[in-house]
């Protein structure tokens, strides 16, 4: 199992809670939606994001950053994927596409989901867990994960900017996607 920090451990959650407790001493500290957050909180989230990007990450259109993921194959036939994001801007309709490619690079399975229900914490972080059922017709073998973000309203994929710890999909229609972990079903 490969863990790039997608699902926070209890220590990480405790650390975030400690940061919130320390900030709560300030009478101006408030918990708000990201779009309403005071600049200090957004700046702190930006700093945390930038530190995370030193290790791993993929920035989409400067507004959405994948900072971690973890994949676990569970029997019978489920793939559990935990993702950790930072959002500076959220637009309705954005869809994360997760494609599972076989050894020949052919897409055999997908686990797309909308970000419309994503509620960032006060610093702009979103944690999501996807459980993808593997149909019986998808054979055992080695698969690679391709991940990107699609904007149906704009009819385009969000532009992939900086990446660290993963690969950019080669040129072509999926150029604005990253290739993540290889795993076996």
Q: Is the pLDDT of residue 78 over 80?
A: yes
Reply yes or no: is the peptide bond before residue 139 cis, omega within 30 of 0. Answer: no
Residue 1 confidence (pLDDT) above 50: no
- Tell me the sheet residues that pair with 44: none
Evaluate the CA torsion angle 111, 132, 70, 122 in order and state its sign.
positive
Summarised one tens digit per residue, pLDDT across range 126-157 is: 999 999 999 988 888 899 999 999 999 989 99
Domain with residues 2-184, CATH architecture: Distorted Sandwich (2.70)
Which pLDDT score, from 0 to 100, does residue 6 have?
53
pTM: 0.74
Q: How far is 183 from 185, CA to CA, in rounded Å?
A: 7
- Reported as a single tens digit per residue, the pLDDT across 7-59 is 555 455 556 667 667 777 766 666 655 445 455 667 788 888 999 999 999 99
What are the boundaries of each domain within the chain? 2-184
């Amino acid at each position: 199992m490969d863990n790039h920090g997608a699902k926070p451990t209890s220590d990480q959650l405790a650390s975030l809670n400690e940061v919130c407790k320390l900030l709560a001493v300030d009478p101006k500290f408030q918990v708000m939606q990201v779009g309403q957050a005071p600049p200090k909180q957004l700046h702190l989230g930006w700093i945390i994001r930038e530190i995370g990007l030193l290790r791993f990450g993929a920035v989409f259109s400067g507004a959405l950053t994948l900072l971690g993921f973890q994949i676990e194959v569970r029997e019978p036939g489920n793939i559990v994927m935990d993702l950790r994001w930072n959002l500076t801007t959220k637009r309705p309709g954005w869809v994360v596409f997760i494609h599972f490619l076989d050894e020949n690079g052919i897409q055999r399975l997908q686990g797309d989901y909308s970000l419309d229900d994503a509620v960032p914490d006060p610093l702009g972080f979103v944690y999501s867990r996807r459980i993808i059922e593997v149909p019986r017709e998808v054979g055992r073998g080695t698969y690679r994960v391709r991940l990107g973000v699609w904007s149906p309203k704009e009819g385009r994929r969000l532009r992939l900017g900086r990446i660290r710890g993963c690969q950019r999909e080669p040129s072509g229609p999926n150029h604005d996607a990253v290739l993540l972990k290889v795993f076996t079903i």
